[in-house]
């Protein structure tokens, strides 16, 4: 079982900047991390990691990774959250999945999102045709 620690993850800038996410505790079995350069809590970037054990012998063990990227601005002279972009990745592993099967699924997710055709389609919010 991995110990909680700060996470360093690069952003999506043309010249990526490493961002440090400080561990923020647990809410039930959900671990939370925050990147706090916004200076105000409503602007913190949040990562979450939840493990859900299978509820039946035929069910899957799940890992749910969450991402929340708020944008802060001034509204009527007050600092406020003006919008939030978010994502959730859910990995479902058969209880008897091998380590290699798990590694392959994770690699497919990472590499799919890194694909030179997929990335601009996602950024541009354009459907495939």
Predicted confidence at residue 3, as pLDDT, reads 87
Spatial separation of the C-alpha atoms in residues 35 and 44, rounded to whole Å: 6
- Position 2 scores a pLDDT of 80
pTM flag (> 0.85): yes
pLDDT of residue 19: 97
Of the chain, the percentage scoring pLDDT greater than 70 comes to: 100
Q: What is the mean pLDDT of residues 79-93?
A: 97
Average pLDDT of the chain is 96
pLDDT of 1 strictly over 90 = no
The domain limits of the chain are 7-96, 98-129
- ∠109-107-27 over CA atoms, to 5°? 65
For 30-83, the pLDDT digits (tens) are 999 999 999 999 999 999 999 999 999 999 999 999 999 999 999 999 999 999
What proportions of the chain, in percent to the nearest 5, are helix, strand and coil? Answer: 20, 45, 35
Q: Which residues pair with 22 in a beta bridge?
A: 34
pLDDT tens for 99-119 read: 999 999 999 999 999 999 999
Torsion sign over Cα 47, 14, 41, 71: negative
In CATH terms, the fold of domain 7-96 is: MS2 Viral Coat Protein (3.30.380)
Considering only CA atoms, which of 107, 66, 112, 70 is closest in space to residue 89? 66
């Amino acid at each position: 079982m991995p110990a909680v620690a700060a996470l360093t993850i690069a952003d999506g800038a043309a010249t990526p900047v490493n961002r440090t996410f400080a561990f923020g505790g647990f809410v039930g079995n959900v671990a939370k991390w925050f990147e706090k350069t916004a200076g105000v809590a409503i602007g913190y970037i949040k990562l979450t990691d939840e493990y859900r054990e299978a509820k039946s012998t035929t069910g899957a063990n799940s890992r749910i990774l969450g991402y929340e990227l708020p944008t802060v601005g001034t509204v009527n002279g007050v600092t406020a959250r003006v919008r939030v972009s978010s994502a959730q990745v859910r990995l479902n592993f058969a209880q008897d999945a091998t380590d290699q099967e798990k590694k392959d699924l994770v690699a497919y997710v990472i590499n799919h999102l890194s694909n030179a055709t997929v990335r601009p389609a996602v950024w541009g919010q354009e459907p495939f045709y």
